[in-house]
């Protein structure tokens, strides 16, 4: 009876999320350092200027989404995928 080793998709998701968050954090830390400011280069998109507002009378719900992709977050994603493949 052969035992197969299967990888968990939740582990990949959590590693990718950690890579994105840590990459964004590193981009914010290095934006004032001239030699590393290129890590913060990126683009921002989403619903940020005009969020969707749902007024139900008793409660008001505001939906907004902003995604900022930087070089450091892309490096974090690549590292997360490499770590996932090694595990």
**pTM of the predicted protein model:** 0.73
For residue 49, tell me if it sits in a domain: yes
Non-local (6+) Cβ contacts of 51 within 8 A are 62, 63, 64
Q: What is the pLDDT of residues 40-87, one digit of tens each?
A: 888 888 877 788 889 998 999 988 888 889 999 999 999 999 999 988
User: Given CA atoms 26, 28, 23, 63 in this order, what sign does their dihedral have?
Assistant: positive
25 falls within a domain: yes
* Residue range of the domain that includes 50: 9-86
Which pLDDT value is given to residue 75? Answer: 94
The predicted pLDDT at position 34 comes to 87
Measure the CA–CA gap between 66 and 53, rounded to whole angstroms.
15
Residue 21 lies in a domain: yes
- Cα(54)–Cα(7) distance, integer angstroms: 40
pLDDT at 5 (0 to 100)? 62
In a domain, 76, yes or no: yes
Position 28 in a domain:
yes
The tally of domains found in the chain comes to 1
Residue 3 maps to a domain = no
> What is the tens place of the pLDDT at every residue in 1-46?
555 566 788 888 999 999 999 999 999 999 888 888 888 888 888 8
């Amino acid at each position: 009876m052969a035992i197969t080793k299967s990888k968990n998709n939740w582990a990949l998701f959590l590693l990718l999320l950690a890579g994105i968050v840590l990459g964004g954090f590193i981009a914010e830390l290095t934006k004032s350092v001239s030699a590393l400011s290129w890590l913060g280069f990126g683009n921002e998109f989403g619903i940020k200027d005009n969020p969707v507002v749902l007024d139900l009378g008793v409660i008001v719900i505001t939906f907004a989404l902003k995604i900022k992709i930087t070089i450091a977050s892309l490096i974090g994603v690549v590292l997360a995928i490499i770590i996932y493949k090694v595990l």
